[in-house]
Structure 1
Amino acid sequence: MKRSEKIEYAQRFLQERIEKDFPYPFQVSGEENFFLFRLKNGRRECCARLRQSQEMLDVLCEGTKAEREVQVERLFDLLRAAIQAQASTALSEESDYEKVKNDLILRPLNYQSIREELEDVPHILAGDVALVLYAVMAHEGNDYFTAKMHRRQMESWRRPEREVLEEALVNTSFLYPPRIYCVEDILSWEKKQHGDGRFMTEGEAAPFRRGARGYLLTNSLEINGAIALFYPGVLKKLAESLGEDFYIAFTSIHEAQIHAAGMISPEAVEASLRDTNRHCNRREEVLTDRVYCYRKEEQKLGIIEDGEFLEVKRDE
């Protein structure tokens, strides 16, 4: 079986086992080398991810019954932890902010596609991109699950919403630091090294070089990595490293492509972005079809609309 066929088979198998043997109706889907498990419980929502490792796919598709049961039980342990966590920690309406603040993160989502869901969900709006407040309920390696927060769950914190959101953004940058890679390097690598992509601290061997056709910005986990553009100091650092204005194409929720303004036109960037969103991304992975731009001298972020620069100001 091809890898794509194994993924499809494994997804069906896991969905059937959840429906048959697990007491909560998680829905299984695929997302960028991960299986995604979603559960909506009233207005609460849990989201768990499990990496589609080759070993796991081989076991689910070709392993013995006992080997498959080990993988299923591993998944059920993760989902049980999600359910247990819903009734405690950050999701409790009596939670203590000081105890949960280090578990709060922001995730980048397409505002237009979820605007109705966000009526009671804390978020920062940056153009088409909503930076939405979530709580990390469990995290082991590349497998983790998060839960979307609602305002009523924050009432006991007695903190201004904007303050909570800004602190969550900083916390996200600590948990999942930004990484940037030159496109040419990615195409030639067999495997990234642990230190590859670091660029925020002086002395780190960042991949910036004159004439490069583009860079890929993400986070250390490479999940929901488009958020890295909004981390404190990242825009300014990118402009200093490139030495000029630059364009940003959010090619999915997981990353953004960075292009020096002197190397390509915004029209070309937009055409490529729209093609990527149309042919390569699932609907839930699309952030926007519009090209963002950062102006170095003015230190302003904006959207290019019909050739004009429209400044983006972050709003709650």
Structure 2
Amino acid sequence: MKLGYLEFVEVLRKQLLNALHLQEQQIFFKKKAIDNKDRLFVDAFENLSGKQLCGIDVKDLYERYMEGSSMESISYSVQDEIEKLKTVGMLEGEMTPDSYQKIRKYLFVKPLNKKAHSLELEDAVHKDVGDIACVVYMMLSNTNAYFCVKIKNQHLKQWKMTKEAVMEEALKNTCQMAPPLICTNDENKWGGSFMENGAFCLSKSDKVMGVRLSTNTKEYGAISVFYPGVLQRLAQLMGSDLYILFTSGNESTIYSANESNLEDIKTELNEMVIEYRNAMVFKCRNGMVFEEKLLSEELYYYSRIEDKISVYMEKVKVNFTTVNLKEVH
């Protein structure tokens, strides 16, 4: 007989406690802990940065169990991932340019809200665009995005690499791991190889109402805006500069600057921010854990001529008044 979900979680917890020789308090379960997902947290080890927690997506493991995987194989795979995580210690020691060559293929980028994550960004390698920080991480697991560690500025010095070069490498990797996808109004479904110079085209409705941009994994899909060539290609398809609205950390909406209604877009942004803040206040007042979902409170603009994305700035109108100097004096 198959175990129920909570029974499965407890059995897995006990097996990990025994296998990893940990104390009861070092493995604990939290429902909807990160991105609205259930996590089994493992206090795996401690290094110079402090205690390192591994967050395990137990619902994903339970699905594997229900599909036929044994408890033993699942427990072993989790143990293996935790052992991989311990390699984070290599980032605490002295590194060389050769070290970078060994780990470069594991680098990837996640978008974070700068204000919400200001403390953890202090020593992290990241590039700021408005109120968004594109942060470089090293992937320690091919199956779980939470088995990762931030790359720090000290690593750049040891590798003798520039932030720009490492960021470029990490973005290319991320694009390969999670290719960009769009959802158009006509098809109303995700898909389409829009990056290729083929017959792909957008309708008038797509340009006015916008298309949703994400990745094939959806999680942290808003990073696709910063992939090499993505905005250039969308601007080509739109036939204009672009307005960009980050509706969450998982996706954005791209509008034609020529065809869409700017006031409607700004209204949508304002309503989205208000709804987000009200939800945050309600949950905090009621003792609930608030799950951050809003990536940005800004409207962004992409210029084809400059090939640059920036926070949209209203054009300032200057009124001139002619003054007769003789009358003044």
Q: Could you report, residue by residue, the CA deviation over 1:56-80 in whole angstroms, capped at 9, with x for unpaired residues? A: 25958xx99x955654444333223
Distance 1:38 1:272 in 2: 39
Conserved? CA contact 1:269–1:291, under 8 Å: no
Compute the displacement of 1:170 (Å). Answer: 2.8
Per the alignment, in what secondary structure is the counterpart of residue 247 of structure 1? strand
Structure 2 counterpart of 1:293:
301
Distance 1:130 1:299 in 2: 19
Aligned-partner residue type, residue 267 of structure 1: K
Distance 1:18 1:286 in 2: 37
Aligned-partner residue type, residue 254 of structure 2: I
Structure 2 counterpart of 1:268:
267
Conserved? CA contact 1:48–1:143, under 8 Å: no
Distance 1:18 1:290 in 2: 46
Structure 1 counterpart of 2:187:
185
Distance 1:130 1:15 in 2: 36
Q: 1:175/1:12 Cα in 2 relative to 1: closer, same or farther (>3 Å)?
A: closer
Structure 1 counterpart of 2:164:
162
Aligned-partner residue type, residue 214 of structure 2: T
**Counterpart mapping for 1:218-297 below 5 A:** 218-261=214-257, 262-264=259-261, 265-274=264-273, 277-278=276-277, 279=279, 283-297=291-305
Compute the displacement of 1:160 (Å). Answer: 2.1
Q: Please say if 1:93 is aligned against 2:94.
A: yes
Compute the displacement of 1:111 (Å). Answer: 0.9
Q: Could you report, residue by residue, the CA deviation over 1:137-159 in whole angstroms, capped at 9, with x for unpaired residues? A: 2203x666221111223332112
Per the alignment, in what secondary structure is the counterpart of residue 119 of structure 1? coil
Distance 1:171 1:282 in 2: 31
Structure 2 counterpart of 1:314:
none
Structure 1 counterpart of 2:62:
56
Aligned-partner residue type, residue 248 of structure 1: I
Aligned-partner residue type, residue 131 of structure 1: C
Compute the displacement of 1:165 (Å). Answer: 2.1
Conserved? CA contact 1:107–1:227, under 8 Å: yes
Distance 1:297 1:138 in 2: 39
Compute the displacement of 1:12 (Å). Answer: 7.2
Compute the displacement of 1:135 (Å). Answer: 0.7
Compute the displacement of 1:229 (Å). Answer: 0.6
Q: 1:289/1:180 Cα in 2 relative to 1: closer, same or farther (>3 Å)?
A: same
Aligned-partner residue type, residue 135 of structure 1: M
Q: 1:232/1:14 Cα in 2 relative to 1: closer, same or farther (>3 Å)?
A: farther
Structure 1 counterpart of 2:35:
31
**Number of matched residues?**
287
Distance 2:38 2:195 in 1: 28
Conserved? CA contact 1:48–1:144, under 8 Å: yes
Rg (Cα) greater in structure:
2
Compute the displacement of 1:18 (Å). Answer: 8.7
Q: 1:300/1:223 Cα in 2 relative to 1: closer, same or farther (>3 Å)?
A: same
Aligned-partner residue type, residue 218 of structure 1: S
Stretches of 4+ aligned residues off by more than 6 angstroms: none
Per the alignment, in what secondary structure is the counterpart of residue 139 of structure 2? strand
Distance 2:250 2:56 in 1: 14
**Counterpart mapping for 1:83-232 below 5 A:** 83=86, 85-88=87-90, 93-95=94-96, 96-140=99-143, 145-183=147-185, 185-186=187-188, 196-203=191-198, 205=200, 208-212=202-206, 213-232=209-228
Distance 1:255 1:41 in 2: 34
Compute the displacement of 1:161 (Å). Answer: 2.6
Q: 1:129/1:275 Cα in 2 relative to 1: closer, same or farther (>3 Å)?
A: same
Compute the displacement of 1:86 (Å). Answer: 1.6
Q: 1:300/1:97 Cα in 2 relative to 1: closer, same or farther (>3 Å)?
A: closer
Aligned-partner residue type, residue 165 of structure 2: E
Compute the displacement of 1:107 (Å). Answer: 1.3
Q: Structure 1 length as normaliser, TM-score? A: 0.72
Per the alignment, in what secondary structure is the counterpart of residue 81 of structure 1? helix
Moved more, 31-40 or 296-305: 31-40
> What is the root-mean-square deviation of aligned Cα atoms in Å?
4.0
Aligned-partner residue type, residue 290 of structure 1: E
Conserved? CA contact 1:252–1:286, under 8 Å: yes
Q: Which runs of 5+ in 1 are unaligned?
A: 310-316
Q: Could you report, residue by residue, the CA deviation over 1:255-304 in whole angstroms, capped at 9, with x for unpaired residues? A: 11223343342322313432564559954433112221224455442323
Q: Which runs of 5+ in 2 are unaligned?
A: 281-288, 317-329
> Alignment identity in percent?
25
Aligned-partner residue type, residue 176 of structure 1: A
Compute the displacement of 1:183 (Å). Answer: 4.9
